[in-house]
Amino acid sequence: MAQYIEFSNISKEFPGVLALDDVSFRVEGGRICALLGENGAGKSTMLKILSGDLRPDKGAITIDGKQQTFHSPHDAILASVSVIYQERQLVPGLSVMENIFIEDLPTKWVRGIRVDKATLKKKTQDILNEFGLTMIEPGELVGRLSVAHQQMVEIMKAYRRDSQIIAFDEPTAPLTESEIEILFNLIRRLKEKGKVVLYVSHRLAEIFQITDDIVVLKDGQLVKTLVTAESNENELIKAMVGRDIGDTYENLKRNEQLGDVLLEVKNLETDYVHDISFTLRAGEVLGFAGLVGAGRTELVRAIFGADPIKSGQILLDGEEVRFKSPKDAIAAGIALCPEDRKEQGLVLGRSISNNVTSAVLPKMKTGLFLDKKKEKAVADRAVAKYSIRTPSIDKIVLELSGGNQQKVILGRWTSGEMDTKILILDEPTKGIDVPTKAEIYQTMCDFASDGMAVIFISSELTEVINVSDRIITMYNGRITGSLMRQEATEESVLKLAMLEC
């Protein structure tokens, strides 16, 4: 059993960015340590060094007095280290049981070595039962699971290895409250077994609920180490940003003047949502709340032309529209920042500049050729407007923090080259730090003040209630209620979000 892990003078530099600067701290076995900081503080780089994805330029990792050098993730796994990232590392075309046991499939001899599927299924079912996830079938393809259930498969894969050092990177982002409770019970069991647990989350309430110690990073440097029970949210926020940002919601400058109805949805029916009707006014921030699987994402995908519509009407400025593809929706002034920004919102291997201008490429041309000056001007404007932290617009988006990746998507739709009338934001603050969340909240309000209509989907009740002008609740593909911000409480919204039609 690992007694401790120690990071000593860890430094890592990328072109133009010092991601980690001489960081040292120690995590004891049997304690849960939070790694906290703004997006870009160095948390992800530290986890990638721990997992063997990156090598530090300087410094060392020591486990129980023995210095470790990880040349690859396989080396880290052999040293009993598991890192569970936000980005799932699963094989969509394989089953749940094959993914969980992918490195250690049970075999038997039947005219040669074969996978022992009966044993594999039983072992997987035992783990599913232990997690309370009996709704997942061992033989189901991972690619067909929801994002939340894929995350649980990722966690079960690490749990099965019985690793002595486990790091969680925003593990609750796609999970429901009941799934979060299952996860927390598991983490507490890991603690009781004496394992070393690192926990990264931007949800401060979780930090105080589950952790024992806190390490705060800022701009790649160690700012402070604290005992969780002796700290508070204000102290942590101040340590992360270097200042007191006050009440996030009270400080919002909101649009007080709503315009005419811009979007009207009538009796919309798809494979996933049923009899949906609502209106959206210019200058309004309309929130959608619901549990995982409520149909919120499926609804906005249908409006955006990404999923087929069976029946019903969509009216834009009073005129009926039927988008055959997202391209049609974009041309009509509707933009979507999708829930899964890495898979659906960005081309990770391309630059900031390429991603920002991808929706307006025809406007970036002079004749038949791409005009680099035009492209640079648009990308520079987006970087300046959203304070995207980057040494250059040529930086590959994959190398940015989650918050800065989200800003790149916002820059695409609001760079000034598109006449965006309706902006749909699906979980835009997932995996993003508190200060950047505050920036995105204010950005939504600014869009509304400029006459744009905003649809805001969030699984965090506090933010959807406090940022939206009006909240629509959904359950099992149907609308169950509507509340104005002034009358909405977490209790009233949750009741409607759990109400069967």
Looking up residue 12, the CATH number of its domain turns out to be 3.40.50.300
Say yes or no: 367 and 232 in one domain: no
Total domains in the chain come to 3
Say yes or no: 194 and 112 in one domain: yes
Q: What is the dihedral of CA 270, 175, 200, 53, to 10 degrees?
A: -60
- Asked whether the beta carbons of 138 and 124 are under 8 A apart, the reply is yes
Say yes or no: 33 and 182 in one domain: yes
Say yes or no: 66 and 183 in one domain: yes
Say yes or no: 90 and 209 in one domain: yes
Enclosing H/E stretch for 316: strand 311-316
User: Is residue 119 situated within a structural domain?
Assistant: yes
pLDDT at residue 423 in the model: 94
User: Is residue 158 situated within a structural domain?
Assistant: yes
Phi, psi of 92 (to 5 degrees): -60, -30
Say yes or no: 9 and 113 in one domain: yes
User: Is residue 340 situated within a structural domain?
Assistant: no
- In whole angstroms, what is the distance from residue 420 CA to residue 446 CA? 13
Say yes or no: 260 and 215 in one domain: no
> Which residues have CB under 8 Å from 236's CB, separation 6+?
36, 204, 207, 214, 216, 226
Q: What are the b/e assignments for 472-485, b being 16+ CB within 10 Å?
A: bbbbbbbbbbebeb
User: Is residue 387 situated within a structural domain?
Assistant: yes
Q: Is the pTM of this model over 0.75?
A: no
pLDDT at residue 350 in the model: 92
User: Is residue 339 situated within a structural domain?
Assistant: no
The half-sphere exposure of 383 on its side-chain side, counting CA atoms within 13 A, is 21
pLDDT at residue 1 in the model: 62
User: Whose structure tokens read 């020591």?
Assistant: 62
Say yes or no: 350 and 304 in one domain: no
Last residue of a domain, one of 206, 241, 276: 241
User: For the purposes of burial, counting CB atoms within 10 Å of the CB of 310, is it exposed (0-12), middle (13-18) or buried (19 or more)?
Assistant: exposed
* Helix ranges (DSSP H) in 66-175: 73-78, 96-100, 117-131, 147-161
Say yes or no: 281 and 411 in one domain: no
User: Is residue 496 situated within a structural domain?
Assistant: yes
pLDDT at residue 371 in the model: 82
Per-10-residue mean pLDDT, the chain, length 501: 87 85 95 87 91 94 92 91 82 92 81 83 91 88 84 85 89 76 86 92 88 93 94 84 67 89 96 96 95 87 94 95 92 89 84 87 80 87 86 89 84 79 90 78 91 92 91 94 92 81 51
Looking at residue 198, the DSSP 8-state letter turns out to be E
pLDDT at residue 61 in the model: 95
Enclosing H/E stretch for 441: helix 434-449
Instruction: Write the CA distances from 327 to 314, 334, 355, integer angstroms.
Output: 16, 10, 16
The residue type found at 267 is N
User: Is residue 338 situated within a structural domain?
Assistant: no
Last residue of a domain, one of 418, 453, 477: 418
User: For the purposes of burial, counting CB atoms within 10 Å of the CB of 447, is it exposed (0-12), middle (13-18) or buried (19 or more)?
Assistant: buried
Say yes or no: 9 and 106 in one domain: yes
- In whole angstroms, what is the distance from residue 147 CA to residue 344 CA? 13
What are 64's two structure tokens?
Answer: 């129980």
User: Is residue 499 situated within a structural domain?
Assistant: yes
For residue 209, the enclosing domain spans 4-241
pLDDT at residue 33 in the model: 97
- Asked whether the beta carbons of 96 and 145 are under 8 A apart, the reply is yes
Say yes or no: 322 and 354 in one domain: no
Say yes or no: 168 and 298 in one domain: no
- In whole angstroms, what is the distance from residue 478 CA to residue 458 CA? 17
User: Whose structure tokens read 């933010």?
Assistant: 463
Last residue of a domain, one of 189, 224, 241: 241
